[in-house]
Each structure stands twice: as structure tokens, then as C-alpha cells.
Amino acid sequence: MRRQAASEPRSAKSNAARRARFFSAGQLCPMPKHIGIVGVSAEGAALCYRAICVEGAEILGRHAHPEITMHTYPLAAYMRHIETGDWDAVAKLLLASAAKLQASSADLLVCPDNTVHQAIDLLRDQSPLPWLHIATEVATVAVERRFKRVLVLGTQYLMESPVYPSKLGPRGIDHEIPVLEDRKRINALTFDELVYGQFNESTRSYFSDVIAAGKWRGCDAVVLGCTEFPLLISAADSPLPVLDSTRILARAALREAIH
């Protein structure tokens, strides 16, 4: 029998066998699924990873969490296509990451980047592994919390896209986005500061003002639809209840991995 090459992905059968038993807290229990993280920007991917690890321990026990593998191409590789609106090219990058994660024996995929979700619906039929959709998970939590009208914040590409409207609308949730001037400023601050881990008080105050304006217009919650935003704005800083897309996605990954 031919020996499996090291570069070949494990079969679904061997993945199932690998998960069949898992040693935890002195007892054997079902092995969680292996989570693959398709990273795009460093800060958002790192926050998602940390959230899975920390909240995984709360569920599985001290120091425990599902197996996790991350792959990311440079943000620059994505931006050259995002800036020209070439979402098919973005999808190809995401699929290339998916293939690498499949080769690492991942069972499911998450991408802690809201903007590139414009490409995820383009690639589902080609993907070797299932994806969780960040806006779908946020919409589910919004329904559970009985929100009716949410303010969506993110990059300008995200705010002006169908990513959130396509998931919120069918669930009966209205949405709105900031005015054009604010969309442009939020976009600039995201790419000039936040993706570099710069979280300035002046930026935090500005975001709080934008959220307050949304509250004045009748919104009852705010979607932090950029995975760096939760590092800038906490629930204590926000005039509206917060839907933290990064941590919501991390919790969904844990849900799928464990159950």
C-alpha cells in the first residue's frame, strides 16, 4: 500500500477517527473539530484566535480549546483586488488559504474579516471545506437579542456592500450606515491606524460620536463590522449595545467545533 505523503490532506475517515477520542481533564470525550482561520488583517485574526482559545477553555476546561490552524496572505495581496472591486480574485486568495488549511486537516473555516465576505458567497461551491459566514452569525445574535434596526460600521467597502443587508433583511432587521463623509473617514482610520494596532483616544471618541448619531436616528444596536473595531470600542465606550462580529464569529466556530 502506498504510504500517504506528508503534503497530502488526511481523508475524512481519518479526520473522524482523529476526533473520535479526546483526552481532557482525566477523561476521554469527543474530540472537537479542527478550526481553520483564514486571516486577512493581523489584528482581527489575532483577536479571533485569542477569543477561541480563551472561551474554549471556559467550555472545555482549563487550558483546553479546539485545534486551530491559521493561514494568511499579506493584507496587501487582498487590497490590490479589493481596491479595484475584483471579488473573484479575492475569492481565489481565500480558496488558496482554504486548500492550505485542508492540508493541515482543518474541518471548518472562519474568516475574521468582514470586508472579504463579499467574496465568500462566490466560492462556497468550490471550497474544499465549509465556511461560517460572519454576517449570518451576527444576524442570528441580533435576532436573539431582539434588535430591530442596527447601525453597521466597517470599512467603506463593507458598509456599501450587500454583506450585512443580505443577512439582516431576511431576518426582519433593518440597518443603516453612516453618511458618506463618515464612511470615508472610518475607512481611512481603519487602514491608517487600526490594522497597525494603533488605537487612539481621538479615534475612539470619533467612533462614539458616529454611534451616538446612529442612536439619534433610531438604531437600537451597532454592528462592529470590522474585526479591529472591538479593540477600539468596547460596550462601555458605545452609546448603543454592541454586536462584536469578531467574538460572535469565534463563538460560532467553537459551537460548530464542539457540537
Instruction: Look at residue 19 and tell me whether its pLDDT is greater than 60.
Output: no
Nearest to 102 by CA among 2, 6, 30, 11: 11
- Whether 41 contacts 111, CB under 8 Å: no
Instruction: Look at residue 152 and tell me whether its pLDDT is greater than 70.
Output: yes
Q: What is the pLDDT of residue 15?
A: 44
Instruction: Look at residue 16 and tell me whether its pLDDT is greater than 70.
Output: no
pLDDT tens figures, 32-68 = 999 999 999 999 999 999 999 999 888 888 888 999 9
pLDDT tens figures, 91-145 = 999 999 999 999 999 999 999 999 999 999 889 889 999 999 999 999 999 999 9
Query: What are 201's three cell numbers?
Result: 483616544
Alpha carbon distance 10, 121 (integer Å)? 26
The residue written with cell numbers 497597525 in the block is 196
Q: Please give, one letter per residue, the 3-state secondary structure of 93-143.
A: HHHHHHHHHHHCCCCEEECCCCCCHHHHHHHHHHCCCCECCHHHHHHHHHH
Query: What are 23's three cell numbers?
Result: 483526552
Q: What is the pLDDT of residue 50?
A: 94
Q: What is the pLDDT of residue 58?
A: 87
What percent of the chain has pLDDT above 90?
A: 82
Instruction: Look at residue 257 and tell me whether its pLDDT is greater than 90.
Output: yes
| Choice between 21 and 174, residue whose per-residue pLDDT is larger | 174
Mean pLDDT lowest among 54-58, 166-170, 212-216 = 54-58
Nearest to 109 by CA among 50, 65, 68, 53: 68
Instruction: Look at residue 172 and tell me whether its pLDDT is greater than 70.
Output: yes
pLDDT grade for 30, boundaries at 50, 70 and 90: low
Instruction: Look at residue 9 and tell me whether its pLDDT is greater than 90.
Output: no
Averaged pLDDT, 16-41: 64
The residue written with cell numbers 472610518 in the block is 186
Sheet with 108-110, side-by-side order of all strands:
68-72, 35-39, 108-110
* DSSP secondary structure letters along 142-159: HHHTT--EEEEES-HHHH
